[in-house]
């Protein structure tokens, strides 16, 4: 197996410099860089596809040889080697490889890797207060984050905030909240949904069996309806959106009549853009139909925006386009741009029904992560990030549609879909009667992209590749990524 050479980390040296400086002045190199950073759309950094291997990589190669075999084997990866540095839209590996990153750590580093302002805010907070524990005292970044989030909520009724560490924890907390405040048990989720790999979140995850295989019995009280996506409904690919919507709402009506009565149903949980299930935006009419059913039956509507939120779809929240009011809104991933943080956001009239002490966690709302998230919100406004998303969205869709229409590709790309910079390409599937379709196209195209210097991911049990570039990606890097993808597709088709 290929073993990448490991470049030396400068962590120990950087740490010693920080401690050598006078703490009150906070003059670490990272903070000085952050203070002097001036974003500029006209300035484009140029990167090669390789970097220089560190001269002291040998010592870390020894570490890799001894510690690497002890990494849990259930942890899968799309590349070999060690990622040592991230900068904007690019990441470096220890052996000198450099990749254009169209994964963003699965939708996390939305402002690019190691954004100077965000990382600088976290570094400064590290020198003041790292951890206070939310059950002991509140800290300023926690309150500043609430202050920054309130104006961008998709509905003004969302005014009660609890911060945790991960998307899965946010889902767990939302399920707990829904059951606690309604006094009901059952939860309805969507076929193809992904909500996490912890126990409760795993029970409402329906995108792949690998996440829960061999762990039964799962959390009880979970029921499922189809998501308005032709695959999930078992309907023809050209089925009109309104027919898919009507079919799924009818299935919900039957479910409430046949399997889980409204008086037993605490919540419906949905991603407004299906993530791990194939990057499928939910039709507004479907979301509005869910809202109506929930309102009529005293069922809470949980909107999981862990991946689709924080600007990923061109608005702060994907749910906004539908005009639907969430009862509980979940956020994570891009909120901290790499610093672990999630949020459970609801109405005070709901959260006030929970007993004091029933929510908490050792690292919940960590001060450093909250400080980073506060700076993320400021950066969105300062750098006009949402404007950039909409500009790059047009370029991405145009490029992907051009590949789809290419004479040599025609018929092999079934769909180009998504919102903002949460976009998917679905390939035709090799099956009986379609032997001319290359087998495992999405997996092979993704690997070709990696070989050509771009990280990209597949998603779902279908032949789908997802595009998750940084929200502040430049026009040049977007064009570069699209060109790599086009070349990869044509090479796989030629190989058959």
Q: Flag whether pLDDT at 15 surpasses 50.
A: no
**Measured CA distances, 31 to 14, 35, 126 (Å):** 12, 6, 11
For residue 33, the model assigns a pLDDT of 40
Residue 427: its H or E element: strand 422-427
Q: Is the pLDDT of residue 113 over 70?
A: yes
Q: What is the mean pLDDT of the segment spanning 342-370? A: 97
Residues of the chain with CATH 3.40.640.10: 123-382
CATH number of 386-495: 3.90.1150.10
Per-residue pLDDT of 222-250, as tens digits, reads: 999 999 999 999 999 999 999 999 999 99
Average pLDDT over the chain, rounded to whole?
89
Range(s) of the chain covered by CATH 3.90.1150.10:
386-495
Residue 4 has pLDDT above 80, yes or no: no
Question: What does the pLDDT average to over 364-391?
Answer: 98
pLDDT surpassing 80 at residue 424: yes
Give the per-residue pLDDT at 439. 92
Whole-number Å distance between alpha carbons of 44 and 364: 37
Per-residue pLDDT band for 355 (boundaries 50, 70, 90) equals: very high
Q: What is the C-alpha to C-alpha distance for residues 330 and 259, in angstroms, rounded to an integer?
A: 27
Residue 43, pLDDT > 50, answer no
- Are residues 302 and 174 in contact, defined by beta-carbon separation less than 8 angstroms? yes
More confident residue, 83 or 377: 377
Check pLDDT > 70 for residue 32.
no
Higher pLDDT, 58 or 236: 236
SS3 422: strand
Give the per-residue pLDDT at 96: 87
Q: Could you count the other beta carbons within 10 Å of the beta carbon of residue 413?
A: 21
Average pLDDT of span 185-194: 97
Identify the CA nearest to 337 among candidates 103, 29, 105: 105
CA-wise closest residue to 322 among 307, 296, 349, 301: 301
Distance CA 166, CA 331 (A): 9
Residues 6+ apart with CB under 8 A from 10: none
Angle at which helix 241-258 crosses helix 284-297, to 10 degrees, equals: 20
| Per-residue pLDDT at 53 | 58
3-state secondary structure of 180: helix
Residue indicated by tokens 């109405």: 347
According to the model, what pLDDT value does residue 62 have? Answer: 78
- In this model, does residue 41 exceed pLDDT 50? no
Statement: residue 314 has pLDDT above 70:
yes
Q: Which residues pair with 458 in a beta bridge?
A: 465
Q: Would you state the pLDDT for residue 11?
A: 33
Structural contact between residues 449 and 88, judged by C-beta atoms closer than 8 angstroms: no
The C-alpha atoms of residue 195 and residue 340 are separated, in whole angstroms, by 16
Please tell me the distance from the alpha carbon of residue 141 to that of residue 149, in angstroms, as a whole number: 12
**C-alpha to C-alpha distances, 325 to 157, 285, 289, nearest whole angstrom:** 8, 13, 12
Coil/strand/helix, residue 487:
helix
Would you state the pLDDT for residue 38? 40
pLDDT for position 51: 58
Whether 295 has a pLDDT exceeding 50, the answer reads yes
From residue 307, alpha-carbon distances to 40, 88, 194, 273 in Å are 27, 19, 10, 8
- The Cα 208–Cα 115 span in angstroms is 33
Query: Between residues 28 and 435, which one has the greater pLDDT?
Result: 435
Q: What is the DSSP letter of 88?
A: B
What gap in Å lies between CA 414 and CA 447, rounded to an integer?
20
φ/ψ region of 221 (left if φ > 0, alpha if ψ in -120 to 50, else beta) reads left
**Neighbour count for residue 53 (Cβ, 10 Å):** 17
Find tokens 């000198």 and name the residue. Answer: 96
pLDDT value of position 50: 58
Q: Which pLDDT score is estimated for 94?
A: 86
* Residue given tokens 């767990």 in the structure block: 172
- Percentage of the chain beyond pLDDT 70 is 87
- Percent of the chain whose pLDDT exceeds 90: 81
φ/ψ of 143, rounded to 5, equals -70, -40
DSSP 203-253: HT--S-GGGTTT--S--SSEEEE--SSHHHHT--TT--HHHHHHHHHHHHH
Q: Determine the Cα–Cα distance for residues 481 and 431; give it in Å rounded to an integer.
A: 29
Q: Is the pLDDT of residue 44 over 70?
A: no
DSSP annotation of 74 reads T
What pLDDT digit, counting tens, does each position of 429-456 carry? 877 666 678 999 999 999 999 999 999 9
> What CA–CA distance (Å, rounded) separates 383 from 299?
39
Closest CA to 59 of 97, 12, 5, 98: 5
Per-residue pLDDT, averaged over 145-159, amounts to 98
pLDDT at 40 over 70: no
Domain 123-382: assigned CATH number: 3.40.640.10
């Amino acid at each position: 197996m290929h073993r990448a050479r490991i470049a030396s980390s400068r962590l120990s040296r950087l740490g010693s410099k920080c401690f050598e400086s006078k703490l009150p002045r906070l003059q670490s190199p990272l903070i000085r860089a952050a203070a002097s950073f001036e974003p500029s759309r006209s300035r484009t950094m140029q990167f090669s596809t390789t970097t220089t291997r560190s001269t002291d990589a040998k010592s870390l190669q020894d570490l890799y040889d001894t510690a690497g075999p002890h990494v849990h084997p259930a942890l899968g990866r799309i590349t070999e080697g060690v990622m040592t540095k991230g900068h904007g839209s690019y990441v470096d590996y220890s052996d000198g490889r450099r990749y254009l990153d169209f994964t963003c750590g699965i939708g996390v580093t939305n402002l690019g890797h190691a954004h100077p302002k965000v990382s600088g805010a976290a570094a400064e907070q590290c020198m003041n207060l790292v951890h206070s524990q939310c059950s002991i005292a509140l800290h300023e970044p926690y309150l500043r984050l609430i202050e920054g989030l309130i104006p961008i909520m998709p509905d003004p009724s969302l005014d009660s905030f609890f911060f945790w560490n991960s998307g899965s924890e946010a889902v767990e907390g939302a399920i707990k909240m829904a059951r606690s405040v309604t006094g009901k048990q059952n939860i309805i989720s969507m076929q193809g949904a992904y909500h996490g790999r912890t126990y409760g979140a795993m029970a409402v995850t329906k995108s792949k069996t690998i996440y829960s295989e061999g762990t039964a019995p799962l959390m009880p009280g979970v029921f499922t309806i189809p998501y308005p996506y032709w695959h999930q409904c078992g309907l023809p690919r050209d089925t009109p959106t309104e027919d898919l919507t009507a079919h799924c709402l009818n299935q919900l009506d039957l479910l409430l009549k046949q399997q889980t009565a409204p008086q037993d149903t605490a919540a419906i949980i949905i991603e407004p853009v299906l993530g791990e299930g194939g990057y499928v935006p939910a039709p507004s009419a479907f979301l509005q139909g869910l809202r109506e059913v929930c309102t009529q039956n005293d069922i809470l509507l949980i909107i999981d925006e862990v991946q689709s939120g924080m600007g990923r779809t061109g608005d702060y929240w994907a749910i906004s386009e539908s005009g639907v009011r969430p009862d509980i809104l979940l956020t994570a991933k891009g909120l901290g741009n790499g610093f672990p943080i999630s949020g459970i956001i609801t109405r005070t009239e709901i959260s006030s029904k929970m007993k004091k002490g029933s929510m908490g966690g050792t690292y919940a709302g960590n001060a450093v992560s909250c400080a980073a998230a506060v700076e993320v919100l400021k950066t969105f406004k300062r750098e006009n990030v949402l404007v950039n998303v909409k500009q790059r969205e047009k370029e991405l869709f145009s490029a992907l549609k051009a590949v789809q229409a290419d004479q040599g590709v025609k018929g092999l790309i079934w769909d180009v879909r998504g919102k903002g910079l949460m976009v998917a390409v679905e390939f035709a599937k090799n099956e009986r009667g379609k032997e001319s379709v290359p087998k495992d196209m999405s997996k092979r195209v993704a690997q070709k992209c990696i070989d050509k210097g771009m990280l990209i991911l597949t998603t779902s049990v279908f032949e789908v590749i997802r595009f998750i570039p940084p929200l502040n990606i430049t026009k040049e890097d977007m064009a570069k990524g699209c060109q790599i993808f086009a070349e990869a597709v044509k090479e796989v088709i030629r190989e058959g």
